[in-house]
Amino acid sequence: MKSTFLQGSSRASLVAQHPSRRVSSRTLVLRVSAKRPGENPVKAKSSTKQGLQHAKQDIVQLLKEKPCYPIMVRLAWHDAGTFSTENTPDWPNRGGANGSVRYMEEQAHAANAGLHHALELLRPIAEKYDDVGNADLFQLASAVSIEEAGGPDIKPRFGRRDTYKPECCVPEGRLPDGNAGPDGTFPDGTKRPGDHLRKVFYRMGFSDQDIVALSGAHTLGRARPDRSGNGKEDTKYTKAGTPQVGSGSPGGSSWTVQWLKFDNSYFQDITEQKDPELLVMETDDVLVKDDAFRPYVQKYAADQNAFFSDYAEAAIKLSELGVEWENEPFVLN
């Protein structure tokens, strides 16, 4: 297998492609030197209920051995979040939850840096079952991760059709950024974080409530400067030896103290902003400052059950963006 993840790249070319993004030398090293999980990707498959039930058990076991909840949620979101209601072509060229993130061409998008780790973790499960589709597996892993981390029991529907070739990957630039670039502009040309969020999420058919609810997934995980360009090298909550890191990989900045626990603390923390060790990006801060977003932040900060309910509803909507069903969709028990 070839050793380059992104062929023919240099820091200059990455900067040229993404002038409003910070492209660090560490980002370049990661994206050029990492193994190419998109090479020889798992073939397109169809799912059965029995196959997904078995895969779910394997995912639960994986999470017990390695609590990789955050990156599983990110994988599913980045697979689905490429959908657009604007000038939507036929499937599979319209983006959405079709499994296309498994291809190297999509993994090479700047917003997807580091997702090869999630794909490699799921690869044994994907290769184990001939009756578990990739698109379904990604969404299942996210839903199971949220539940195992203490969040709501999300019941997505399954039976998605897998995209079958890398040419189906959509152009780069459909996913949101946390901060504007050095020139004060987001990749989509907007200059204000609220405008950026609405341009991205409205394109997918979401409301302001959905934007805030889905942002609450930042209660899990960390931002790493070598992936997104955001956050610090580490904080007191992400240093090696801290309880949350355990035997896992240290580093990055978390939005919450207990960043492997799915709860409503994200909304409390971005409201108070008392702890400089916690990450608050421009698109987090605007949720508190924007008149339309703020009521939902206040609601979720005060009522975790309300957050869980609205998050589950928005997450199911996200998981079905752009989907073409093989047959009648079904839900697991």
Burial label for 303, CB within 10 Å (0-12, 13-18, 19+), is middle
Can you tell me the distance from the alpha carbon of 282 to that of 288, in angstroms, rounded to the nearest whole number? 10
Can you tell me the distance from the alpha carbon of 255 to that of 238, in angstroms, rounded to the nearest whole number? 11
Give Cα separations from 138 to 12, 15, 79, 121, 188 (angstroms): 33, 30, 8, 11, 26
Can you tell me the distance from the alpha carbon of 257 to that of 81, in angstroms, rounded to the nearest whole number? 27
Tracing tokens 């960043």 back to the chain, one arrives at 259
Catalytic residue among 18, 78, 109, 116: 78
Can you tell me the distance from the alpha carbon of 180 to that of 186, in angstroms, rounded to the nearest whole number? 5
Q: Among residues 176, 181, 174, 171, which one has the least CA distance to residue 18?
A: 181
Catalytic annotation present for 117: no
> 145 near 69, Cβ under 8 Å?
yes
Can you tell me the distance from the alpha carbon of 50 to that of 129, in angstroms, rounded to the nearest whole number? 10
Residues with a catalytic annotation lie at 78
